[in-house]
Each structure stands twice: as structure tokens, then as C-alpha cells.
């Protein structure tokens, strides 16, 4: 269980965690929506206050480069 927000679990598929700099309340929601719009993204969990971002996805449907491009398009720095 997430200590900050209390969520339980992060879905299925391959899980990858990023630390993203530059989030604010608005762009975190936009990023979440854009990531969930990718064909193979199953779950997105963003902690805007510290940049922790967890994504569950199907690598057969979505390439990692497609995921990182979403951050780059909004001018955010994402590190694995």
C-alpha cells in the first residue's frame, strides 16, 4: 500500500518507475491522461509532490520510447 495516498497495488503488466522533475498539479493530470491513452498502458500512478511515477504497461503494445516521449513533450525530465 502506498504510504502517501493509500492506493493498493499498481495493476498488472510490466512495471517501471520514473522520478520526474517539473510536475505541478495541472501537468501531472495531463501526463496521466496521455499515458493512459497509449495502447498498452494499463495503470499510471503519479506522486506530483516528489515526482515518483509508476507505470504498468504491456511492452508488446507500447514501447518504452513512447512512454518517455510523453514526458519530453511536456518538457519534463524523467529518470528511471
Asked if residue 5 belongs to a domain, the reply is no
Q: Are 13 and 56 in contact (CB under 8 A)?
A: yes
Lowest mean pLDDT among 3-7, 21-25, 74-78: 3-7
13: pLDDT confidence band, cut at 50, 70 and 90?
confident
Asked if residue 27 belongs to a domain, the reply is yes
Asked if residue 28 belongs to a domain, the reply is yes
pTM value?
0.84
Q: In this predicted structure, what is the pLDDT of residue 1? A: 41
Asked if residue 7 belongs to a domain, the reply is no
Helix (H, G, I), strand (E, B) or coil at 47: strand
Number of separate domains in the chain: 1
Q: Give residue 68's domain range.
A: 14-79
Asked if residue 36 belongs to a domain, the reply is yes
Which residue blocks in 1-80 are alpha helix, DSSP H?
Answer: 25-36, 64-73
Q: Is the per-residue pLDDT at 11 higher than 70?
A: no
Asked if residue 9 belongs to a domain, the reply is no
Asked if residue 3 belongs to a domain, the reply is no
* 22/38 Cα distance (integer angstroms): 21
Q: In this predicted structure, what is the pLDDT of residue 12? A: 75
Amino acid at each position: 500500500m502506498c504510504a502517501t495516498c493509500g492506493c493498493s497495488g499498481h495493476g498488472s503488466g510490466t512495471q517501471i518507475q520514473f522520478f520526474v522533475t517539473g510536475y505541478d498539479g495541472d501537468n501531472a493530470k495531463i501526463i496521466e491522461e496521455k499515458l493512459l491513452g497509449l495502447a498498452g498502458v494499463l495503470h499510471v500512478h503519479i506522486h506530483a509532490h516528489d515526482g515518483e511515477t509508476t507505470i504498468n504497461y504491456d511492452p508488446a503494445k507500447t514501447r518504452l520510447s513512447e512512454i518517455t516521449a510523453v514526458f519530453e513533450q511536456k518538457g519534463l525530465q524523467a529518470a528511471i
